[in-house]
Chains A and B, each alone.
Chain A
């Protein structure tokens, strides 16, 4: 028999599962692993559902579990990503596909915390303080990590002319 709170949980997965998986994908760069990360996080969420519903944002908790599960993988070398010189799925690349693959490769080259900072700041729209609390680092670390990450992605986006090349004279010193 499904209880009320379990129905809420099922509804939540239906409403937010896809968005969580998208965040997981940006973190790990692989749809299968993203699916694993999301399911692991949601199963953990089920275990504490009744408690967190009363105490904090479910979205915030789910995001925290997801990011920590992702970051925990760094201690397990057999799951570490390797940046391949050539990503698969290269046949018949269009400009858009090129850009996606380049962007994925650029994301994959970022250290994990930097990558997580970029995803949380620019995808999840979290503030610096919130991001720092979630990653367990200082706000300064988040600022520098997201700035470096943005620089790496900027290079790719400049190539596709989505971002104008920087003009040094406009920089604030």
Chain B
């Protein structure tokens, strides 16, 4: 006698379903990935996380900030334009809310609500920078609607206050991919991004002998230095020279990030928002955005 469950199904039913499911999977296309390819992807992801984590820890040292969700009215099409940027690139009309959702998804659970603050276009593709409650993230939109996280930093840092006219929040690097195994080549890069005070309209970022200058967008800036795929990551990424200018070209900020410049900034209620180094005199922290 057949053994049936309370719904009247027996082992034969389950076996038939099992066979049918197996047949469904028989006709799949060849595998599009390999162990070696995933190994490279995993290494790249780990390298970016380590570098971003190191930067975030360094930046967060001595910081205790009450965090609020940033809200900002941003341009319909945020875009940083590097000086001397390469030729014409594909123009895509983005739905920014969807960009934020897809980038959050790529970063995995815990990303929270994100907003796009800046977009950088160059020969390497399209890179977005997003901020959330206590997270900043780079997100590659080159193959939109695919969005791939390109490094993120999170912690107790928060983004409600600015330590001076210009902050450096996002630093990431990749050695790129030379192509092959059905994948397009991807150049290596070093990325630097952050927030600025409202009067800062232009930011120059120097990495080694290279300098890129961009306009600020939504009180943020974002630059990317490209290099050939396979080239070793730059050991000097921690040491970035930042200069911020106002609309008249006056220099408002000039510092190197290794080590982070000392300073002390107070909120209006007198509490310390940032203190890096043994500073006794504190300046007013700047609200952002």
Contact = CB atoms under 8 A, between A and B. Distances in A.
Interface string A10-43: 1111100110011001100001001100110011
A170 B4 contact: yes
Contacts of B14: 121-122, 150
B35 A11 contact: yes
Interface in B4-37: 4-9, 12-14, 16-25, 27-29, 31-36
A166 interface: yes
B13 A13 contact: no
B267 interface: no
Contact of A157 (B7, B8, B16): B16
A38 B27 CA distance: 17
Given A21-B28, A22-B28, A170-B4, A123 B21 contact: yes
A171 B4 contact: yes
B25 A25 contact: yes
Contacts of A12: 35
B41 A9 contact: no
Interface stretch (A53-61, A80-88, A99-107, A130-138): A99-107
Interface string B81-99: 0000000000000000010
A163 B7 CA distance: 15
B215 to A, nearest CB: 31
A38 B33 contact: yes
Contacts of A35: 31-33
A43 B41 contact: yes
Contact of B8 (A10, A22, A99, A172): A172
Main secondary structure of the interface of A (DSSP, over half): helix
A6 B42 CA distance: 10
Given A47-B42, A150-B9, A151-B9, A123 B18 contact: yes
Given A42-B38, A76-B101, A78-B101, A26 B25 contact: yes
B105 interface: yes
B115 to A, nearest CB: 17
B17 A122 contact: yes
A147 B5 contact: yes
- Give the interface centre of B12, B23, B32, B108 by most chain A CB atoms within 10 Å: B32
B109 to A, nearest CB: 7
B2 interface: yes
Contacts of B23: 96, 100
B77 interface: no
B39 interface: yes
A17 B20 contact: no
21 contacts: A10-B38, A12-B35, A13-B35, A17-B31, A17-B33, A21-B28, A26-B24, A31-B28, A46-B39, A46-B45, A47-B46, A78-B98, A100-B23, A103-B20, A123-B22, A125-B18, A150-B9, A154-B9, A162-B16, A163-B16, A170-B4
Interface of B: 2, 4-9, 12-14, 16-25, 27-29, 31-36, 38-39, 41-42, 45-46, 98, 101-102, 105, 108-109
